[in-house]
């Protein structure tokens, strides 16, 4: 069989590809995220060599107007002067979010801020074991991290 010319070659990725990921291996989870992004890029370019436009549709380039960031299990949203920290309710989601570069960079930045009166806040969490606590005062959210005077 004769090989097709390079410009006529088309990559195909079936729609039903699933990645079985061990939650114990952080690197395996990142590889699965990268494979998923690669699939989206190939699909958006129609199977041909991806252009910069096709890549930027899947992975937007952050700029000064960027207000939302996402990496693996962690999503951050900046609305005015309020930063919303979101990790889905899933087994080991917080552990996976803690290993992301986005969380590490966000915490590094929040720790360098000079907090003034009335600024700051808390990151709250909950988990399935805590939520099932039916005793008096049980099942509520708890504080994971505190920042500035408003977080105390």
Q: How far apart are CA 152 and CA 146, in angstroms?
A: 7
The residues, ordered by sequence, that sit 6+ positions from 148 with a Cβ below 8 Å of its Cβ are 113, 115, 116, 119, 120, 121
Q: How far apart are CA 134 and CA 17, in angstroms?
A: 41
Residue (of 145, 56, 63) closest to 104 by Cα position: 145
pLDDT band at 6; cut points 50, 70, 90: low
The residues, ordered by sequence, that sit 6+ positions from 136 with a Cβ below 8 Å of its Cβ are none
Q: Average pLDDT, whole number, for the chain?
A: 76
Distance of CA 143 to the CA centre of its chain: 21
pLDDT, tens digit (0-9, with 9 covering 90-100), for 49-101: 778 887 777 777 777 777 888 877 788 888 888 888 888 877 777 778 888 88
User: Is residue 118 scored above 80 in pLDDT?
Assistant: yes
Measure the CA dihedral 25/26/30/31, to 10°.
-20
pLDDT value of residue 8: 57
- 147: β partners: 121
Global confidence as pTM: 0.61
Residue percentage of the chain with pLDDT more than 70: 72
pLDDT band at 39; cut points 50, 70, 90: confident
pLDDT value of residue 17: 54
Residue percentage of the chain with pLDDT more than 90: 2
pLDDT value of residue 114: 92
| Mean predicted confidence (pLDDT) in 113-124 | 89
The residue ranges of DSSP E strands in the chain, in sequence order, are 68-71, 74-79, 82-86, 121-125, 142-147
Mapped onto helix, strand or coil, the DSSP state of residue 102 is: helix
């Amino acid at each position: 069989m004769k090989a097709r010319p390079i410009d006529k070659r088309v990559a195909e990725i079936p729609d039903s590809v699933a990645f079985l990921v061990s939650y114990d291996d952080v690197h395996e989870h990142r590889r699965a995220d990268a494979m998923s992004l690669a699939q989206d890029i190939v699909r958006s370019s129609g199977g041909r060599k991806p252009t910069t436009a096709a890549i930027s549709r899947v992975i937007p380039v952050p700029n000064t107007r960027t207000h939302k960031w996402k990496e693996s299990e962690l999503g951050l949203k900046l609305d005015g002067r309020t930063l919303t920290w979101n990790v889905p309710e899933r087994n080991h989601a917080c552990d996976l979010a803690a290993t992301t570069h986005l969380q590490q960079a966000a915490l590094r930045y929040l720790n360098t801020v000079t907090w003034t009166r009335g600024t700051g806040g808390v990151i709250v969490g909950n988990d399935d074991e805590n939520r099932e606590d039916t005793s008096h005062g049980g099942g509520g959210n708890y504080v994971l991290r505190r920042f500035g005077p408003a977080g105390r």
